[in-house]
Each structure stands twice: as structure tokens, then as C-alpha cells.
Amino acid sequence: MNNKITTILFDLDGTLIDTNELIITTYLHTLEKYYPSKYSREDVLPFMGPTLHEAFSTIDPERVEEMIVEYRTFNLANHDALVKEFEGVFDTVQTLFEKGYKLGIVTTKRHDTALKGLRLTNLDQFFEVVVALDHVKKVKPDPEPIFTALEQIDAAPAETLMVGDNYHDILAGKNAGTMTAGVAWSIKGRDYIAKYEPDYILDHMHDLLNILGE
């Protein structure tokens, strides 16, 4: 239980909204176009978390921008059919909002795509700030996106909890001086997120309310 936390920042994909199937399907579609029959589902799992630029740079530095365009076109076209929020997310976030916590999103997605996911799941009404890829020079695990969000909602790192499903989220929180919580529903599993030693691990989003004493 922690009563000094006033502010909660969330990663978006894989934490609040289940975009796993959309992301995997989009990567496979894109890679199939450029490298037929070369990549499997398992091959694209390491791309969950990093930016598109980072992911595609490991495949073909010459064609990164071209592949990003292909990825985004397919991703937006299939977004609404494949995205949903994780169980317990809406109720928990609504409760935190009603209790007066300051809530923000810190994502490596572009702002327009992040808002699309938040609106689709009706979560957009609860967040004061959304810091996206196009708002920062450096992405998580650099602390810049967290500092940007905290500046906008007038909160200090010491009173903030960063919640995410990927090592980028946990390390960004540690680098910024916030508390951290990893989610066990990460596509890479509970053991994966535990390795990065977050302050808390959530097995269900409702666990957040217990941690906060709500």
C-alpha cells in the first residue's frame, strides 16, 4: 500500500490496450511483403516495445522509412478490428480518475494512433496528458517522455508510479526516479518483466487499487 502516490503514468500498448495481435499481424504483413516466408510470429516478438525505427533498423537500415509507411498503413486499416482493452482496465482507470489521481499516457506510438486506441476503448476521457513519439527527442527507456508528462501535469517523480509491460517502461521509470509497476500480462510473460525488478508486479489491473490503498 502506498499513500504518497498521486500520479500514475501508463504505457499504452500491451499495458492498457491489447494491441498484441494487431502489432504482430502488422509486422508479419510488412515483413512478408519485403521478405516472403522469412519471418515467423516468434521472430517478431522482440519488436514489441521498441519504436518502429529501432525494430526495422535491425532488419534493413536502407529501407526503414519505406517499411514504416507500409506498417502504419496496414496498422491503421486494421486497428479497430483487432484492438480491445485488457480485462479490468476500464474499471480500474475510471476508479483512479474518480479518486482524483493524475493520470497520463507515455507511449512510443505516434500521437494520432495512440488517441485512436484510447478513443476506441473509451479511455481517452480519463487522461490529462498523452506523451507520444512525436512529442520527444528521446524515447523510453530515456526519462525524457516521463519528465515531459510530469511537467504537463505538475507532478514530481517521487509521487509517481510508471506502469508498463516492457523493460523500456520499467527502466524509464527508474531513470526518471518514479516508482514502477510491471504487468504480468506482458506478451513476454511475468518472468520477463520480473527480471527488471519493478517495485510492483500487477497480475490483474485491479491490483493497482490494492497497492494504492484504494
> Which of 145, 139, 168, 165 is CA-nearest to residue 157?
145
CA 16 from chain center: how many Å?
Answer: 7
H runs (alpha helix) in the chain: 20-34, 41-44, 52-57, 64-82, 89-98, 111-120, 144-153, 167-176, 190-194, 207-211
User: In this structure, what C-alpha cell is assigned to residue 77?
Assistant: 486499416
CB 166 within 8 A of CB 50: no
Active site residue 134: no
**Hey, CA dihedral for 186, 133, 105, 176, is it positive or negative?**
positive
Identify the active-site residue in 11, 13, 18, 169.
Answer: 11
User: In this structure, what C-alpha cell is assigned to residue 198?
Assistant: 519493478
Cβ contacts of 42 within 8 Å, gap of 6 or more: none
Active site residues: 11
